Structure 1
Amino acid sequence: MSTATTVSSPPTTRKYWATAALLYLSYFVLGFSLFAQAQFKPALAGQWSTDVAGVAAAIAWMMVGRLIAYPIAGPIADRVSRRLGAIIGASLLAASFVGIVFVSNPMLGTVMCVVAGLGNGFLDPAVYPALSEVFPKHSHIANLFLKFSILVAQFLLPLIISATGGADLEGGFRTVYLGFAAIIAAVIVGLLFAPFPPNESKQDAASAAPRAAITVSAPMIMLIVLGATTITTFTLWGNTNQELGKAYGMENPALTQSWYSAGAMVAILISTALLTRIRATQIIIFYPLVSAITLIAVYFVHTPWIVPAAGFIIGWTAAGGVLQLVTSTANSLFPHARGLMTSLVMIASAIGGFAFQSLAAPWVVAAPGNVLLLNAGVTLVGVALAVFVDRAEKSRLEVARAA
Structure 2
Amino acid sequence: MENRKINSYGIVGSIYANYIIQSIALIVIMQFSQALSKQLNTDIVGLGYVASGIGIGKIFLMFVGGVLSDKFGRKLFIYLGMICYAIFFVGIIFCTNIHIAFCLAIAVGAGNSFLDTGSMPALTECFPGAASSASVLIKAFISIGTLVLPFIVTFFDTNKIWYGWAFLGFTAYLIINSLLLLPQQFPHKDTTIKGCEGSVNYFTGNPRFEFEGILLIVMGFTTTATFVIILQWLPTIAIKGVNMSDIDANQLISYYSTASIISVFVTAFVVKRFLKPIFCIIILPALSALVLIVFYFNISPVMCVIAAIGVGFTAAGGVLQLTLVVMQQLFPTRKGLAVGCMYTFSGLSFVVIPRIVPKLAMINVSYAILIDFFIAVSSVLLGSIVFYRFKKVIDLTKI
> Is TM (by shorter chain) over 0.5?
yes
Contact preservation (8 Å) 2:207, 2:330: no
Distance in 2, matches of 1:75 and 1:105, equals: 34
Out of 19, 23, 39, the position equivalent to 1:27 is 19
1:269 aligns with 2:265: yes
User: Equivalent residue for 2:197?
Assistant: none
Match of 1:191, as an amino acid? Answer: L
Range 348-357 or range 104-113, more displaced: 348-357
User: Equivalent residue for 1:65?
Assistant: 57
Contact preservation (8 Å) 2:207, 2:393: no
C-alpha displacement of 1:201: 7.2
Out of 251, 254, 269, the position equivalent to 1:258 is 254
1:122 aligns with 2:118: no
Range 170-179 or range 381-390, more displaced: 170-179
C-alpha displacement of 1:399: 6.7
1:193 aligns with 2:193: no
User: Secondary structure of 2:333's match?
Assistant: helix
User: Equivalent residue for 1:220?
Assistant: 213
Distance in 2, matches of 1:380 and 1:257, equals: 23
1:82-97 counterparts in 2 under 5 A? 82-97=74-89
Match of 1:303, as an amino acid? Answer: S
Range 63-72 or range 81-90, more displaced: 63-72
1:179 aligns with 2:182: no
1:131-146 counterparts in 2 under 5 A? 131-146=123-138
Contact preservation (8 Å) 2:206, 2:393: no
Q: Deviations over 1:315-368 (max 9, x none)?
A: 111111111111122111110100011101011112233123212232345532
Range 31-40 or range 45-54, more displaced: 31-40
Contact preservation (8 Å) 2:125, 2:191: no
What are the ranges of 5 or more consecutive residues in structure 2 without an aligned counterpart? 193-204
1:155 aligns with 2:147: yes
Match of 2:211, as an amino acid? Answer: A
In 2 relative to 1, CA 323–172 (structure 1 residues): closer, same or farther, beyond 3 Å? farther
The percentage of counterpart residues that share the same residue type is: 25
C-alpha displacement of 1:105: 2.3
Range 339-348 or range 171-180, more displaced: 171-180
Match of 1:309, as an amino acid? Answer: I
Match of 2:303, as an amino acid? Answer: I
User: Equivalent residue for 2:224?
Assistant: 231
Range 120-129 or range 284-293, more displaced: 284-293
1:164 aligns with 2:156: yes
Distance in 1, matches of 2:270 and 2:80, equals: 34
In 2 relative to 1, CA 340–34 (structure 1 residues): closer, same or farther, beyond 3 Å? same
In 2 relative to 1, CA 201–108 (structure 1 residues): closer, same or farther, beyond 3 Å? farther
Distance in 2, matches of 1:185 and 1:166, equals: 28
1:354 aligns with 2:347: no
In 2 relative to 1, CA 122–193 (structure 1 residues): closer, same or farther, beyond 3 Å? same
In 2 relative to 1, CA 257–399 (structure 1 residues): closer, same or farther, beyond 3 Å? closer
What is the aligned-residue RMSD (CA, Å)? 2.3
Displacement over 6 Å in runs of 4+: none
User: Equivalent residue for 1:249?
Assistant: 243
Contact preservation (8 Å) 1:131, 1:139: yes
Distance in 1, matches of 2:305 and 2:35, equals: 29
1:376 aligns with 2:373: yes
Distance in 2, matches of 1:171 and 1:313, equals: 40
Contact preservation (8 Å) 1:201, 1:337: no
User: Equivalent residue for 2:98?
Assistant: 106
Contact preservation (8 Å) 1:91, 1:185: no
Paired residues in the alignment total 382
1:281-292 counterparts in 2 under 5 A? 281-292=278-289
Distance in 1, matches of 2:19 and 2:393, equals: 29
C-alpha displacement of 1:397: 4.8
Q: Deviations over 1:153-210 (max 9, x none)?
A: 111122222222269xx555322222111111222223322111111179xxxxxxxx
User: Equivalent residue for 2:196?
Assistant: none
C-alpha displacement of 1:124: 1.0
C-alpha displacement of 1:396: 5.2
1:54 aligns with 2:64: no
User: Equivalent residue for 2:200?
Assistant: none
Distance in 2, matches of 1:296 and 1:399, equals: 32
Match of 1:340, as an amino acid? Answer: L
User: Equivalent residue for 1:327?
Assistant: 324
C-alpha displacement of 1:68: 2.0
User: Equivalent residue for 1:385?
Assistant: 382
TM-score (norm 1): 0.88
In 2 relative to 1, CA 108–166 (structure 1 residues): closer, same or farther, beyond 3 Å? farther
Distance in 1, matches of 2:320 and 2:283, equals: 13
Match of 2:302, as an amino acid? Answer: W
Contact preservation (8 Å) 1:166, 1:172: no
User: Secondary structure of 2:105's match?
Assistant: helix
User: Secondary structure of 1:253's match?
Assistant: helix
Distance in 2, matches of 1:285 and 1:19, equals: 31
Distance in 2, matches of 1:357 and 1:80, equals: 36
User: Equivalent residue for 1:240?
Assistant: 233
Q: Deviations over 1:111-153 (max 9, x none)?
A: 1111100000111111111110100000011111111110111
In 2 relative to 1, CA 307–102 (structure 1 residues): closer, same or farther, beyond 3 Å? farther
Distance in 1, matches of 2:295 and 2:92, equals: 39
Q: Deviations over 1:26-68 (max 9, x none)?
A: 1111111122223222332222211012112221221110122
What are the ranges of 5 or more consecutive residues in structure 1 without an aligned counterpart? 1-7, 203-211
User: Secondary structure of 2:384's match?
Assistant: helix
